[in-house]
Amino acid sequence: MTPPALRVVMVDPRSLFCPSCRRPVLMLTVGQAAERLGLSRRTLYRWVERARVHAIKPADAPLHLCWSSVLRWVTHGQRREPPADPRLAQVVEAIHTLYADPRLTLTRLSRQVHLSVSALSRRFKAEMGVGFRDYRRTLRLRRAEQLLSQSSLSIKQVALSVGYRHVGDFCRHFQQTYGFTPSTYRRMVTQVAQTAGESEPVHPQGSKTV
């Protein structure tokens, strides 16, 4: 089936706002996203062409990708079928079920599937495209993103609820991933929600579909 056409909106990337998500997110160039993920630019352009991730084309600037949609595709979108190796399938399922457990480690998982830590680490990255720690962290931060925008939990409560033992580690990882501190992100989401409640968003002039 032919994927839907990609809507490219002419906006200033400094706004750090994804029109598709309708909330503040970190917008990265294809090169920046590829470097963070350790993937080729060709792979990311393929995701854009197939409408797997959100993208905007700012005026007089390179194509920018919505980092939140990229992370969502990495951890969820590609999981259409479990890994062929039943032990890896078991590991992936365990991570998605237990990612909020601070005791979830590669060592613990390796014992469950009777593989050495190094062997499991290699197989996991080869199959999933990212390492175990990055995969687990992405799941935790995506859940934290939801809690920050949809709940009144404190920053510390959010951190603990997604598997972090120390709120400082959570804040650092969140800012490294999304470009904002958790408190700044929550404030921006609240402001966007208030603005959206006052009026329906209108796509800027110059938006086009490619």
> 94-113, pLDDT tens digit by residue?
999 999 999 999 999 999 99
Task: Report the C-alpha gap between 92 and 81 in whole angstroms.
Answer: 11
- 3-state SS string over 116-182? CHHHHHHHHHHHHCCCHHHHHHHHHHHHHHHHHHHCCCCHHHHHHHCCCCCHHHHHHHHHHHHCCCH
- What pTM was estimated for this model as a whole? 0.70
Pseudo-torsion of CA 38, 42, 47, 50, nearest 10°? Answer: -170
pLDDT of 193 reads 65
Q: Is 62 left (phi over 0), alpha (psi -120 to 50) or beta?
A: beta
Please give the residue that has the higher pLDDT: either 103 or 206.
103
Domain boundary assignment for the chain: 7-77+134-209, 86-129
The SS3 assignment for 188 reads helix
**Most confident option among 85-94, 134-143, 155-164, 182-191:** 155-164
pLDDT of 10 reads 39
Tens of pLDDT, residue by residue over 28-62, are 889 888 887 777 899 899 999 988 899 988 777 88
pLDDT of 73 reads 84
pLDDT of 187 reads 86
Question: What CATH number matches the domain at 7-77+134-209, 1.10.10.60, 3.90.1150.10, 1.10.1040.50, 2.60.40.10?
Answer: 1.10.10.60
Beta bridge partners of 18: 23
